[in-house]
Amino acid sequence: MTKSIRNPGLYLFRGIVLLLLGVLAVLMPGITFATLVFLFGAYMLVDGIFYIIRAIESRRTTSGWGWYLFMGIVSVIAGIIAFIDPFAAGTALVFLFGFWIMLAGIATITTAINLRKSIRGEGWYIAAGVITVIFSLLIVFNPLAGAITLALFFGFNALANGILLIVLGIRLKRHNNHAEHLGTGAFA
């Protein structure tokens, strides 16, 4: 029995929005990065407030409530700094991105070395890890290029996911048309 999917147009709409965001991010990486810094600041501020509220509400029932309070205060401070000094927040984001990529490269190298007796061609995995570490060093030692890279990474990811969602929406619409033709209708 074939069932149709409700609202395939939502997938299509989400895909179009992501595709447009991706195009804008790729064409205007500077504005994209500034927007990401602003969103980072807003997220940290809101997240910090929620952590502080959680700490206050759970101070009598949770032994680790102090950590929630600490995380909340640090997050609120990071959010405020992002609004007061977006350049500093942007630089911090680039360094976090660079070090995250570096850790991913090191993890790839370590995994390949640990699995060398179980897999063949581990040299390729090690090479990929080394290239990733080199890429991370380029980001860390050239923050401006890192900021542009981060914005482009966001843009190309949005483009890819937008295209996938558009294709999914079209395929679901076709599936629904086929299901309706068979008389199964949409399910609730």
Instruction: Please enumerate in sequence order all residues whose Cβ is within 8 A of that of 126, keeping only pairs 6 or more positions apart, or say none.
Output: 108, 109, 112, 113
pLDDT in tens, 21-32: 999 999 999 999
Task: Take residue 132 and report the two structure tokens written for it.
Answer: 């990733």
Tell me the angle at which helices 65-84 and 86-114 cross, rounded to the nearest 10 degrees.
Answer: 120
Would you say 144 and 98 are in contact if contact means Cβ atoms under 8 Å apart?
no
Q: What is the pTM for the complete model shown?
A: 0.62
Share above pLDDT 70 across residues of the chain, in percent, rounded to a whole number: 92
Task: Take residue 110 and report the two structure tokens written for it.
Answer: 């370590």
Task: Take residue 158 and report the two structure tokens written for it.
Answer: 């949005």
Mean pLDDT, to the nearest integer, of 10-17?
A: 90
Question: What ranges do the domains of the chain cover?
Answer: 13-182
Mean pLDDT, to the nearest integer, of 48-71?
A: 90
Would you say 8 and 172 are in contact if contact means Cβ atoms under 8 Å apart?
yes
Residue 60 exposure: Cα atoms within 13 Å on the Cβ side: 1
Does residue 186 have a pLDDT over 80? Answer: no
